[in-house]
Structure 1
Amino acid sequence: MTSSLPVIIGMGGINAAGRTSFHQGFRRIIIDKITAEARQETFVGLASLMKLVSYKNGQLVDQQGDEILASDIEAKFGQQILDGTLIRKIEKNHFDPDATHWYQKMHVRPVDKTICFELRAKELPHPLPHAWQVTDLGDGKVNVEIPEELTISHDAYRDNPIKAAGQMPTGFEPGALYNSRHQPRGLQATIFAATDAIRSIGIEWDAIIDKISPDQVGTYSASIAGQMQAEGFGGLLKSRLAGSRVSTKQFALGLNTMSTDFINAYVTGNIGTTVTSSGACATFLYNLRSAVQDMQAGRVRVAIVGSAEAPITSEVIEGFGNMSALANEKGLKKLDNTDNVDHRRTSRPFGENCGFTIGEAAQFVVLMDDALVIEMGAKVMASVADVFVNADGYKKSITAPGPGNYITMAKSVALVQSVLGKESLQQRSFILAHGSSTPQNRVTESLIYDRIAASFDIDNWPISAPKAFVGHTLGPASGDQMAMALGIFSDKIMPGITTIDKIADDVHSDRLNIATEHWHCGDMDVAFINSKGFGGNNATAAVFSPEVTLAMMTKRYSEQAMTEYQQKLTLVEQAQDVYRQRANQGEFDVIYKFGEGLLDEDSIEINNDSLTFAEFKHAISLPTENPFSDMV
């Protein structure tokens, strides 16, 4: 029995490297290896994204309104663009790492019998402490005398030992692109990323929905921590302690389901499957697995899959920092034997390192089953053979690695060998590692790869690690890996881990190729995307290249069907190029349908075998067969 092949037809998002669609972020990472034409496009696109230039009457202009040629962008803004992307010192729109705000406790004792002060009467605590002596001064003021010790908290600032993060490009504010209504940054990024993914398809969303039943669409997304900015859980948890009120939105907008809910409610109007699966650092892959399984089973035909996280807050960073998980100034200085820290090189997968570097991102892919791809002429970017998830079993420490990742990697490698054969596996596959940049990870993860390589007779297995450039974005981290995989398939360049001078001595690399420079890898057939999450959440995806995917589809469909597909594809590629040019100009046409397109529940027609909506072309079929006929 054959199953549908989940094909990636669109990808969009944002991380520290830039926009995901059309490989802008990937090309920022390998900027010195790409062609002159691609380099110019990348600088122009990033300059627009970062608000350094804009288009006025079809002409590029700088912030002063002066005309500028695309060919002059790098000369004028190149260094500013490079400095404002990838991992760098935390910018003050997040918080000031040199003077991080906090509330310091003070234990105040009376000097002469009482502590005496004056304040407004309405600021008195309720109930009034029994020892407080209050005298009314008139005009709404009172005098307070306290004959005992008083503990108070006051605004203070401290030097944060963790100063670097993978931040969205300087100047890019997703909430400024639509009426974001004081939404948390992660949800703003979700709206942008989902739009970018959908626009990148080159086919109108409504045209896709008109081809299928509306319940054959799925949205699969989550974050790990939820939304920790002041507009979400961050404000909910500290508002009262900071003397503010909790808002009506903070709890709802803080939930980790919200990235899924926002796409359904404001971007696609989806009434089909909705899934929020959280698996720590493997969250993107957990949601991808759910989508792949639903598509292979025929439950959905189109799926939006992803994750969004905006964890660059002082509280989240302090939490990871106190676990000794993050690279801090002291550790980096010790590693480099210097008093000066290079904030660009804080994340060092498989090198001498002292912790990971946090990042923010939103990454989404659009999947479509292969039959619908052929019917609509969608562009093939890759396909997902499967995603394997396994736990670690009994653990001494919930954060420690375990054996589950051996299982996910071995299953993925064995599947690829079964489908494509040994030659593709041994000569044209690569791994995008979890590569968190911790001393423990570099040993345990490399050992898994080295042992599996020996078992399947693989030599010189290429390994790269996106976290070296964009940091650890938590939920979307494997989405960053997916973006890099699609970039490698497209540009035939393997990113080296340029933030390290050499591989650490304790890394198991006898059969691995962990390069420290970018290199031209040629055609690749398979990417293994690997993730190791806190708590034993391990996942590995086997992703086929567009060439392999098209070759598989050619065997399944007739020559006439493939000829007709290619004819339709021409029009789709033209539409994609239109969005590509507009996006490079900073014109994203963000989809945010707040209160638009509401379904009329009174017009729903219901009968024994279907539901019909006036707003959708096709009805939703109801189950009419007994799946347990052999049992009842």
Structure 2
Amino acid sequence: MSHLPVVVGFGGVNPAGRSSFHHGYRRLVLDALPLAAQQRTLQSLAALMGMDERMPEAERRQHILAHTLIRKIESAAFDVEQVAWNKRLHLEGGAGQFEFVTSAKQLPECVPEGWALRDIGGGKVAVTLDGGLDMLLPTHRKMDVSSAGQLPTGFDPSNYYSARNHPRGLQLSVFGASDALQSMGIDWDTVRASVHPDQISVYASSAMAQLDDAGFGGLLAARANGGRVSSKQLALGLADMPADFVSAYVLGNVGGTGPSLGACATFFYNLRQAVQDIRSGAVRVAVVGAAEAGIDPRVMDGYATMGALATDADLLKLDAGSGRSEADYRRASRPFSSNCGFTIAEASQFVVLFDDALALELGAQVHAAVPEVFVNADGYKKSISSPGVGNYLTVAKATSAAGAIIGEHALKTRSFVQAHGTSTPQNRVSESHILNETAKAFGIERWPVAAIKAYLGHSIGAASGDQLVSSLGIWRDNILPGITTIDHIADDVQRSNLHLPMSHLELEEDSMDAAILNAKGFGGNNASVCLLSPQFTERLLRGRHGSHAWKGYCERREESVAQANAYDEAALRGELSVRYQFGEGVLESDDLDIQADSIGIAGWLKRVELPNTSPYTSWLASEDAQ
């Protein structure tokens, strides 16, 4: 019997704030919330941003609104007006011969051919050479792109644990995984004691790897800029490090790791591995995530050179006639409207999955179920970044899978879409056609579509994680975020069977059973997810396990809810804790008890069972019989 992967915890951070307990989602729909919910969301952000509690309420609200979501890049990231770079410069002497003075200690180890050195005392030498000298002059320039989905002002993940010069993406990974873990309301030691050590796996990565100075960015630039490579930059720069850090320092995991990369669909690629392993019974607990820290002038320079980012100049052209002299940074991302490129963002999103039986056994909160994740490539392509046919396949598969579970009529009337919605001209045409044609094929007449990159920007590998956690919020508060950064739908958008709301869409309670989450990535990395609502998931679990088991589960769940709420209340007070255990509980060979049938590990209640049967034994018997 197949196991059902259910979401029992979720957490992280993006430009809207902390993900757990729907705080980040509620920032997207803040004005549509009841006053009490608004105040709680603002309190969460104020605590995360380290704001003074004595600040007047109106001033505090205005500051939070101005310093979250997409906005002009703030100096905490880098100064967009003065981005450091090196300008090539050629120097020549007036009479053809060139001379300069330098410290003898600064001479290169290998003196270039044609240099004549003369000691002038005081540790200095005069260098004379014929012709000229090519050099790099440190200077600065203004970025063409000034907007990004930056994390809330004042939030620094390194403040919550001993970061030890970790790249920002790894800091975000530790924060996101810890937030997801504590949102469960179940002690991690309880989870460890309930399963075999090798039944826990971590599937996490980044699409771009760690490209800041503490990672690959510093590694590749150090010698060119006259610096030295550190011993950590190479190891910590790897794209699989989010999984490795979470395993080693958050969970103490000795089970599997399965970091997967799929460009802008990376989170869903990781999710697919987790879903497959839980459904097969190989894994009972999966921690899935992605973290990306792409607001870096080097990363942005690459995307801008591709023509993928919305530049300040192009944004001004979109608003020609408005009288604006400066780009509208808040509206930089305009999915399915007249647009000019995507807006880069940073984020970390993690979810914890249990199989359905373990969720009931431990009284875990169930926020959704993930029965299927589909991945397809594009086939032959004209260019590596152009769209292809693969996404038609993944969307159709996810839609069909949802219909098979919730029913044909419910699919038509009780499902919604989380679009990739990057805000590029190419995406608005290709994705709208994919979604519209799928809606036609399945008889869906007015499919509600959300495009949350309008608020958050595009966090590359973590972007599909943003979509998943916001979907959980939609089911919690029954508000589909509208595409509020646009005032019209572009003429080339296919929408005969789609509903692309430009304002928040209020839904009736328990009116949506399923969501289709879609992600497209460079290189033909397409992934679509069938996600089931918590209400529908509960119906499935009651049907499978029976009313008696369900009653016991509901009683156990009360403790999980109480413990989770205690964590959230502490975070609202500014007492947010991050689980990070460096050098604690380190296992050595003496901590293992190796037997022929199993291995015991110190600190684990259950043993690792060794395989003693083979599915291929019968093949040999068949050969002998022949």
With the shorter chain as reference, the TM-score category is: over 0.9
Shift of 1:431: 0.5
Taking the aligned partners of 2:446 and 2:507, their CA distance within structure 1 comes to 12
What's the TM-score, normalizing by structure 1? Answer: 0.96
Q: Quick one: which of 393, 396, 405 aligns to 1:410?
A: 396
Report what 2:624 is aligned to: none
Equivalent residue for 1:250, pick from 204, 229, 233: 233
Q: Secondary structure at the match of 1:405?
A: helix
1:538 partnered with 2:521: no
Contact 2:316 2:328 in 1 (8 A): no
Q: How many Å separate the matches in 2 of 1:296 and 1:413? A: 19
Checking the alignment, whether the CA contact within 8 Å between 1:599 and 1:615 is kept in structure 2 is no
Q: In the TM superposition, what whole-angstrom CA distance separates every residue of 1:560-600 from its partner, at most 9, and x where no partner exists?
A: 11110010111111111101111112222111111001113
Alpha-carbon distance between aligned partners in 1 of 2:98 and 2:337, rounded to the nearest angstrom? 56
**Corresponding position of 2:5:** 6
Superposed, 1:569-608 pairs within 5 Å as 569-608=557-596
Q: 2:114 matched to which residue of 1?
A: 131
Secondary structure, counterpart of 2:333 in structure 1? coil
Instruction: State the distance in 2 between where 1:465 and 1:102 align.
Output: 35
Contact 2:386 2:522 (C-alpha < 8 Å) held by counterparts: yes
Tell me the amino acid that sits aligned with residue 564 of structure 2: Q
Deviation of 1:114 after TM superposition, in Å, equals 2.1
CA displacement at 1:424 relative to structure 2: 1.7
Q: How does 1:482-561 map to 2 (within 5 A)?
A: 482-522=468-508, 523-561=511-549
1:41 aligns with 2:40: yes
Residue identity in the other structure for 1:380: V
Aligned to 1:468: 454
Code of the residue aligned with 1:187 in structure 2: it is L
- 1:123-170: CA deviations, max 9, x gaps? 112311121121112222111122211110011111111001101100
In 2: Cα distance, 1:571 partner to 1:213 partner: 24
- Work out the CA distance in 2 between the residues paired with 1:273 and 1:446: 38
Is 1:240 aligned to 2:236, yes or no? no
Q: SS where residue 93 of structure 2 aligns?
A: coil
Q: Using the alignment, how far apart are the partners of 2:18 and 2:602 within structure 1?
A: 36
Q: Can you give the 5+ residue segments of structure 1 that lack an aligned partner in the other structure?
A: 54-60, 63-67
Q: Which residue of 1 aligns with 2:51?
A: 52
Which residue pairs with 1:303 in the alignment?
Answer: 286
Q: Residues 88 and 137 of structure 2 are in contact (CA less than 8 Å); yes or no, is this contact kept in structure 1?
A: yes
Work out the CA distance in 2 between the residues paired with 1:431 and 1:174: 31
Match of 1:150 among 133, 146, 149: 133
Q: Percent identity?
A: 47
Aligned to 1:369: 355
Per the normalisation by structure 2, the TM-score is 0.97
Deviates further, 507-516 or 600-609: 600-609
Q: Aligned-pair distance for 1:94?
A: 1.8
CA distance in structure 2 between the aligned counterparts of 1:525 and 1:108, rounded to whole angstroms: 69
Aligned counterpart, 1:288? 271
1:435–1:467: 8 Å Cα contact kept in structure 2? yes
Aligned length: 615
Partner SS state of residue 148, structure 1: strand
Question: Which letter does structure 1 place at the counterpart of 2:386?
Answer: A
C-alpha separation in 2, matches of 1:352 and 1:583: 40
Structure 1 partner of 2:201: 218
C-alpha displacement of 1:91 = 1.3
| 1:422 is the counterpart of 2:408 | yes
Q: Deviations over 1:328-384 (max 9, x none)?
A: 011111111043211001111101000000000000000000001111110010010
CA displacement at 1:479 relative to structure 2 = 0.2
SS of the residue 2:428 aligns to: helix
Q: Is residue 513–residue 535 contact of structure 2 (8 Å, CA) maintained in 1?
A: yes
Whether the aligned pair in 2 keeps the contact of 1:114 and 1:147 (CA below 8 Å) is yes
Look up the equivalent residue of 1:495 and give its one-letter code: P
Is 1:627 the equivalent of 2:624?
no
Aligned-residue offset at 1:122: 1.3
Aligned Cα RMSD in Å?
A: 1.0
Query: Contact (CA 8 Å) 1:377, 1:567: kept in 2 or not?
Result: yes
Match of 2:158 in 1: 175
In 2, distance between residues paired with 1:78 and 1:518? 20
Instruction: Give structure 1 regions of 4+ aligned residues with deviation exceeding 6 angstroms.
Output: none
- Cα distance in 1 for residues equivalent to 2:574 and 2:264: 31
2:117 maps to a residue whose letter is: V
Do residues 382 (structure 1) and 365 (structure 2) align?
no
Of 181, 192, 196, the match for 2:175: 192
1:118 aligns with 2:117: no
Of 235, 253, 257, the match for 1:270: 253
Question: How do 1:153-168 and structure 2 match up within 5 A?
Answer: 153-168=136-151
The residue identity in structure 2 corresponding to 1:286 is Y
1:614 is displaced (CA, Å) by 2.0
* Counterpart contact for 1:196–1:588, Cα < 8 Å: no
